[in-house]
Amino acid sequence: MSELNGQSTGGNDWQLGRIVGELHEARSQWRETHGRFREFSGRELPSRSVMASVIESLSGALFPLRLGPDQLRQESEDFYVGFELERALNALMIQAKLELDYFAKQRGENGVNRADEARRLVQAFALALPDLRRLLDTDVIAAYQGDPAARSVDEVLLCYPGIHAMIHHRIAHHFYRSGLPLLARMVSERAHSATGIDIHPGAQIGEGFFIDHGTGVVIGETCIIGDRVRIYQAVTLGAKRFPADAEGNLKKGHPRHPIVEDDVVIYAGATILGRITIGQGSTIGGNVWLTHGVPANSNVSQASLQGCAGLAQE
């Protein structure tokens, strides 16, 4: 019977010795090509499964009687919240240290213990949780008030993909601003996989944000979205172009996504590209393709764009 590392393979000859060896060779080639050919002592990068558990615990701590365990009662709510936060924050500190250490090694900064920095960042995040909960409450209310099909705020919180995405985004955005972009991206991509809503953790989003239906929504890294904004499925707030440096590498971090001011509504399928401003109180119709800014209280539809091709460029 064939064996691999002392364990039976069930009698099937999968040629595992050959495959394992070739996979080892492929990894070695990649590491050597990218300057990472070195010995590893334990895990180098944060864990997706650990971060998934952290987000589940944080969601339960933020909304214990809705997203917590089914046996929870109000009299034990505070105990549960404290227990979940203790578990989540301890795990998060380990993941934060892994990220800090990893990027320090990429910069050639070896031999520095970043446990204190990780602890400081996680403490700041913990202290921000009450304000984050209050901000999420405005998103829940916006969804309830903005959808005539919603029967209660509890239905919104339990069922709406836009709220699921915003819980993740509010957490991810804090990580992003704190200097933990990898953890932030892991959190945001978890929501993206579950909902089809792709919000980069760098996007700045005001209170009372409502994504209705949600599937196919894309919001770019440098978007700035004001208060009480409502968008529908398949809306893209993206970049118009991707400038490169002298070596042909894409430039990172420069403002390239739209600014959407307060009280804007953007209907399904609209595509808004570039660093342009959608003025306060405007309505952008379905399937509109927009690459220039519009003033406050504009009403933009496909028909209006065809009849007003001379709108000023920003």
Largest CA distance in the chain: 77
Identify whether residues 69 and 176 lie together within a single domain.
yes
Residue 97 lies in a domain: yes
Domain of residue 256, residue span? 216-314
pLDDT at 77: 96
pLDDT at 3: 54
How far apart (Å, rounded) are the C-alpha atoms in residues 244 and 248?
5
Q: Is 83 exposed, middle or buried (0-12, 13-18, 19+ CB in 10 A)?
A: middle
Q: Which of 34-43, 140-149, 150-159 has the lowest mean pLDDT?
A: 34-43
Identify whether residues 61 and 132 lie together within a single domain.
yes
Q: Outline where DSSP puts E strands in the chain.
A: 3-4, 7-8, 198-199, 204-205, 210-211, 218-219, 224-225, 230-231, 236-238, 259-260, 265-266, 271-273, 277-278, 283-284, 289-290, 299-300
Q: Domains in the chain: how many in total?
A: 2
How far apart (Å, rounded) are the C-alpha atoms in residues 77 and 88?
16
Identify whether residues 162 and 223 lie together within a single domain.
no
Identify whether residues 190 and 221 lie together within a single domain.
no
Closest CA to 99 of 80, 75, 117, 124: 117
- For the stretch 108-141, pLDDT in tens is 887 778 999 999 999 999 999 999 999 999 999 9
**Element at 21 (helix H, strand E):** helix 16-33
What one-letter code names the amino acid at 226? G
Q: Under 8 Å CB-to-CB from 230, ≥6 apart: which residues?
A: 142, 146, 209, 210, 211, 212, 264, 265, 266
Identify whether residues 189 and 54 lie together within a single domain.
yes
Identify whether residues 276 and 184 lie together within a single domain.
no
Parallel/antiparallel/unpaired status of strands 198-199 and 218-219: parallel
Span between the terminal Cα atoms of the chain, in Å: 72
pTM given for the model: 0.88
Identify whether residues 188 and 53 lie together within a single domain.
yes
pLDDT at 179 over 70: yes
We report the CATH number of the domain holding residue 310 as 2.160.10.10
Residue 3 lies in a domain: no
pLDDT at 109: 84
Q: What is the mean pLDDT of the chain?
A: 91
Identify whether residues 128 and 85 lie together within a single domain.
yes
Identify whether residues 282 and 155 lie together within a single domain.
no
Q: Under 8 Å CB-to-CB from 245, ≥6 apart: which residues?
A: 251
pLDDT at 41: 60
What one-letter code names the amino acid at 17? G
Residue 156 has phi, psi (to 5 degrees) of: -60, -50
Residue 10 lies in a domain: no
Identify whether residues 235 and 188 lie together within a single domain.
no
Residue 6 lies in a domain: no
pLDDT at 65 over 70: yes
Identify whether residues 81 and 189 lie together within a single domain.
yes
pLDDT at 308 over 90: no
We report the CATH number of the domain holding residue 183 as 1.10.3130.10
The answer to whether the Cα torsion of 193, 197, 202, 206 is positive or negative is negative
